[in-house]
């Protein structure tokens, strides 16, 4: 049995362009600190192998401090680190991986073909491959491969696009993982946690990125940690992100926008980055910048988007000599005799009907 930590897709030195200059700088620094936190967590949990499945850097053009901090943090880890470079941080002897002075406990795959690293102290073998160019890595790297049935724990570390048949980022499929017959495949590339899945005897997962970088990477982000042995993988998702990106949609119809948003907000959002989408009908235009300023202290960063419609008298043109007038006249008669719930349903029917007549969405 070997205790592992599986992480991927750090994208260190990302621009964080949607944030202000100072916040973007702070987020880049927090991202660099991520690796130190991982090393500390791994040591606390008795992790023996840290499996990093690529895209540790956002590009080959990294700050020298970033590489130095990464090597220093990984050198503090008590176990061994195995890295399989991805499409953003592809291996080039003259690139970022070649320029960094790695500590002895860090092992980097350097070829676009499967090679093995033996760890007899853990009765374990780790297989992996690197991207050696930003695109074009071949999913055939797994074709014909089956891990030996020798009683040891066999792990696979690989950056690739599972299910992306037309992908240029090493397309993989579940059939290849099943034939590989490893005990656990630590994958990178997809930024959402996949859950721990199984193909034949092979357990596999994407941990997702450990830090969200935009509103396409919502919610809690983290890593996987646990144990693997022949025929069994027991891994848990560990939330690890300093901040979360969240999108909250609030209907402000017949409400004060500030109160409507406040009533929908969860507690403890101060560390997070939010986009609030306002919907519904209003009598007056929403003053989004004023609303953003009133709420700003509740978030690390906030943007407010107004998708409301101006409220209109739905019974306008009732009785006109037109299809619209006849439609409204019929429903208005029902409306006058309906109870409160019935009136709400009729109002909704009117809105849907008028939207259909105007060939627009509700």
**Residue 340: other Cβ atoms inside 10 A:** 7
pLDDT in tens, 270-297: 999 999 999 998 877 889 999 999 999 9
Give the pLDDT confidence of 95-104 residue by residue, as tens digits: 989 999 999 9
Cα angle, residue 189 at apex, residues 80 and 184 outer, rounded to 5°: 50
Give pLDDT tens digits for 66-104. Answer: 999 999 999 999 999 999 999 999 999 989 899 999 999
If pLDDT is split at 50, 70 and 90, which confidence band does 180 have? very high
| Mean pLDDT, the chain, integer | 92
**Could you tell me which of 158, 165, 162, 4 has the C-alpha nearest to residue 79?**
4
- In this predicted model, what pLDDT tens digit does every residue of 111-151 receive, in sequence order? 999 999 999 999 999 999 999 999 877 778 999 999 999 99
Q: pLDDT (tens digit, 9 = 90+) per residue, 238-276? A: 999 999 999 999 999 989 999 999 999 999 999 999 999
**Residue range 336-341: mean pLDDT, rounded:** 87
This prediction has a pTM of 0.85
Determine what percent of the chain is predicted with pLDDT higher than 70: 99
Cβ neighbours, 10 Å, residue 165:
9
DSSP three-state, residue 120: helix
Q: How far is it, in rounded angstroms, from Cα 30 to Cα 34?
A: 6
Environment class of residue 91 by beta-carbon count within 10 Å: exposed (0-12), middle (13-18) or buried (19+)?
Answer: buried
- 219: pLDDT strictly greater than 80: yes
Determine what percent of the chain falls in helix, strand and coil, rounding each to the nearest 5: 30, 25, 45
């Amino acid at each position: 049995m070997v205790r592992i930590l599986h992480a991927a897709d750090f994208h260190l030195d990302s621009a964080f362009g949607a944030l202000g200059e100072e916040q973007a700088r702070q987020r880049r620094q927090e991202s660099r600190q991520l690796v130190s936190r991982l090393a500390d967590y791994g040591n606390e949990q008795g992790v023996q192998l840290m499996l990093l499945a690529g895209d540790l850097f956002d590009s080959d053009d990294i700050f020298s401090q970033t590489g130095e901090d990464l090597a220093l943090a990984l050198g503090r880890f008590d176990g061994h680190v195995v890295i399989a470079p991805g499409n953003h941080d592809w291996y080039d002897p003259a690139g970022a991986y070649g320029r960094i002075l790695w500590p002895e406990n860090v092992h980097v795959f350097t070829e676009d073909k499967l090679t093995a690293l033996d760890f007899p102290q853990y009765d374990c073998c780790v297989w992996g491959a690197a991207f050696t160019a930003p695109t074009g890595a071949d999913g055939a790297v797994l074709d014909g491969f089956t891990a030996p049935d020798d009683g040891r724990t066999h792990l696979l570390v690989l950056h690739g696009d599972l299910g992306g048949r037309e992908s240029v980022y090493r397309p993989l499929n579940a059939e290849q993982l099943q034939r590989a017959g490893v005990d656990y495949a630590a994958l990178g590339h997809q930024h959402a946690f996949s859950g721990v899945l199984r193909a034949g005897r092979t357990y596999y997962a994407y941990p997702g990125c450990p830090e969200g970088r935009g509103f396409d990477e919502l919610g809690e982000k983290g890593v996987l940690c646990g144990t693997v042995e022949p025929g069994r993988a027991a891994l848990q998702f560990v939330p690890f992100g300093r901040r979360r990106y969240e999108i909250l949609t609030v209907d402000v119809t017949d409400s004060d926008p500030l109160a409507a948003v406040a009533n929908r907000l969860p507690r403890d959002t101060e560390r997070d980055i939010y986009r609030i989408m306002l919907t519904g009908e209003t009598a007056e235009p929403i003053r989004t910048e004023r609303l953003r300023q009133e709420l700003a202290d509740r978030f690390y960063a906030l943007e407010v988007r107004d998708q409301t419609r101006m409220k209109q008298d739905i019974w306008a043109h009732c009785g006109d000599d037109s299809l619209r007038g006849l439609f409204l006249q019929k429903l208005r008669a029902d409306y006058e005799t309906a109870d409160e719930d019935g009136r709400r349903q009729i109002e909704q029917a009117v809105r849907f009907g008028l939207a259909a007549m105007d060939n627009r969405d509700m």
